[in-house]
Chain A
């Protein structure tokens, strides 16, 4: 039985790495992957709390998080494909049409 503290620390560090990657990368696909890393970090903390509190609900919430992550990947990559058709390239810095 792993204590909950180190698990939460791991979750926080992974979330921080995902956040930095999401904000810093230029490739839009890798930004989506960073979002997946952040969702995974949240799942670690949910599973740790589920064990700490002896309650199954944390794991069930983590399962729903995985389902939503799959939906997010499908819609996000569909958007990237449509974007790539209109203007080739996946760099976010080229997408400035809404900027005034």
Chain B
């Protein structure tokens, strides 16, 4: 899909992602920030579609935008933050932070020089190409079955940990 339409779509998605990320980290109202992060995640899902990771795009929309972000929004509404919004948004050292962000992006940009990238193997695809979903699912449940189970264990530990941390202490 090296077409003009693909390129245009990618550059639109990239520009919208960067803009919504900048808005997300600079808005004063945390709820507005969350909504900009939602925009960012949906555009990143579009980027995943363009690079041929359909399953990852679906998981991005369902899990990130659907579950994690809604969890953050619920949490924001659980706390009463009206006083916090009046204060300054950034610490006094924010120029250093922006410099650190720029520095990291510049370093990573330098490291993406074409000479440093591994060349694609260009393997001859024998037989009918599998769909993305079926190939990812097959790999997930055969080659990566053990890491998959460990991920479920991590999620269980996180659930129990969150309940223990957030539980109100009852004084006897």
Contacts and interface: CB of A to CB of B under 8 A. Distances in A.
A70 B155 contact: yes
A11 B41 CA distance: 13
A95 interface: no
Contacts of B88: 26
Interface string A42-84: 0110011011111011011011101111111111011111101
Interface of B: 1-2, 6-7, 10-11, 14, 17-18, 21-22, 24-26, 30, 33-34, 37, 40-41, 44, 47-48, 50-53, 55-56, 59-60, 63-64, 67-68, 71-72, 75-76, 78-79, 81, 83-84, 87-91, 93-94, 96-98, 100-105, 108-109, 112, 114, 117-118, 120-123, 132, 135-136, 139-140, 144, 147, 151, 154-155, 157-159, 161-166, 168
Interface of A: 1-21, 23-27, 29-30, 32-34, 36-37, 40, 43-44, 47-48, 50-54, 56-57, 59-60, 62-64, 66-75, 77-82, 84-85, 89-93
